[in-house]
Chains A and B, each alone.
Chain A
Amino acid sequence: MPTHTFVLNGQPVTVEAPDDMPLLWVLRDKLGVTGPKYGCGVGVCRACTSHLDGQEFQPCTRSVKDCAGHAVTTIEGLADGDTLHPVQEAWLTCDVAQCGFCQPGQIMAAVALLRRTPNPTDADIDQIQNVCRCGTYPRIREAIKQAAARQATTP
Chain B
Amino acid sequence: MPPISTSIASSDPTGRTGEAPAAEPTGRRRFLTYLLAAPTLTVATRVGLDAAAPAAARAAERAAQARAADAPPQLLGLPGVPDILDLGDAMILAGLPTSHLLVLEVTPAGRALLYLPRLEVGQGLTTAMAMLVAEELDAKLTDVDVPLSDGRPELLFNQLTGGSNSVRSLYDPVRGAAAAARARLVTAAARRWNVPASSLRTADSAVLAPDGRRAGYGELAAEAAAVVLPAVPVTPKPADQLRLVGRPTGRIDARDIVTGRTKYAGDLQIPGAVPTVVARPTTVNGTLKSLDASAARTMPGVLGVVRIPSGVAVLAETFDQALKARDALRTTWNPGPAADLSTEDVRARLRAAHLPFLVPPLLTQHLDGEFDFAFVNHAPMEVLTAVADVRPNRAELWFAAQSPILAQQTIAAELGLPQNAVTVHVVRGGGSFGRRLFFDAALEAAQISKAAGRPVKLMWTRNDDMRHGRMRPASHHRIRATYGLGQVLTWEHRAATVKTDLGHGLGETLTAAGFNLSLAGLSLAQAFFLLTEKNPYNVGIPTQLLAELPLDLHTGSWRSVYSGTVRVADEIMMDELARRMGQDELAFRRARLRSAAGRAVLDTVAAKGNWGRPMPPGQAQGIGYHDENGGIAAYLVELDATDRANPRVTKAVVAADVGRVINPTGLEAQLTGALVDGISVILQAGNHLDNGAFREGSYGDFHYARQRHTPPVVEIHLMPPSGAPGGAGELGVPAASAAVANAYARATGTSPRSFPVNF
A88 close to B263 (CB less than 8 A): no
A32 smallest CB distance to B (angstroms) = 7
Contact of A99 among B380, B461, B707 (CB under 8 A): B380
B463 smallest CB distance to A (angstroms) = 8
A128 to B430, CA, bound (A): 20
Kindly state whether residue B275 has any CB partner on chain A within 8 Å.
yes
B730 smallest CB distance to A (angstroms) = 13
Contact of B707 among A25, A29, A40, A137 (CB under 8 A): A137
Residue of A18, A32, A39 with highest tally of chain B CB at under 10 A: A39
B704 close to A97 (CB less than 8 A): no
A132 close to B381 (CB less than 8 A): yes
A5 smallest CB distance to B (angstroms) = 19
Within 8 A of A (CB), among B408-433: 428-433
- Residues of B within 8 Å of A75, CB to CB, are 258-260
Kindly state whether residue A30 has any CB partner on chain B within 8 Å.
yes
B263 close to A100 (CB less than 8 A): no
A38 to B429, CA, bound (A): 14
A34 close to B263 (CB less than 8 A): yes
A91 close to B707 (CB less than 8 A): no
How many CB-defined contacts (below 8 Å) exist between A and B? 187
B665 close to A95 (CB less than 8 A): yes
Kindly state whether residue A67 has any CB partner on chain B within 8 Å.
no
Within 8 A of B (CB), among A79-107: 79, 84, 88, 91-92, 95-104, 107
Kindly state whether residue B674 has any CB partner on chain A within 8 Å.
yes
Contact of B698 among A42, A95, A97, A127 (CB under 8 A): A42
A136 close to B258 (CB less than 8 A): no
- Residues of B within 8 Å of A92, CB to CB, are 250, 254-255, 258
A78 to B122, CA, bound (A): 23
B259 close to A84 (CB less than 8 A): yes
- Residues of B within 8 Å of A42, CB to CB, are 462, 698, 700
Known contacts A30-B318, A84-B259, A135-B672; is-contact A40 B714 (Cβ 8 Å): no
Kindly state whether residue A37 has any CB partner on chain B within 8 Å.
yes
A8 to B197, CA, bound (A): 57
B674 smallest CB distance to A (angstroms) = 7
Within 8 A of B (CB), among A101-120: 101-104, 107
Kindly state whether residue A139 has any CB partner on chain B within 8 Å.
yes
Residue of A30, A96, A99 with highest tally of chain B CB at under 10 A: A99
Kindly state whether residue A52 has any CB partner on chain B within 8 Å.
no
Against B, the Cβ 8 Å flags (1 = close, 0 = not) of A15-31 are 00110011001101110
Kindly state whether residue A141 has any CB partner on chain B within 8 Å.
yes
- Residues of A within 8 Å of B266, CB to CB, are 28, 34, 37-38
A22 to B714, CA, bound (A): 38
Kindly state whether residue A122 has any CB partner on chain B within 8 Å.
yes
Kindly state whether residue B712 has any CB partner on chain A within 8 Å.
yes
A45 to B626, CA, bound (A): 31
Contact of A131 among B259, B672, B699 (CB under 8 A): B699
Q: Which residues of A contact B (CB under 8 A)?
A: 1, 17-18, 21-22, 25-26, 28-30, 32, 34-42, 44-45, 47, 74-76, 78-79, 84, 88, 91-92, 95-104, 107, 122, 125-141
Which 3 A-B residue pairings sit nearest by Cβ, starting from the closest? A35-B260, A135-B676, A99-B122
- Could you name 19 residue pairs across A and B whose Cβ atoms are closer than 8 Å? A25-B319, A29-B318, A29-B319, A35-B261, A39-B462, A41-B461, A42-B700, A74-B260, A91-B258, A99-B381, A99-B431, A99-B432, A100-B262, A126-B707, A126-B708, A134-B669, A134-B673, A135-B672, A138-B672
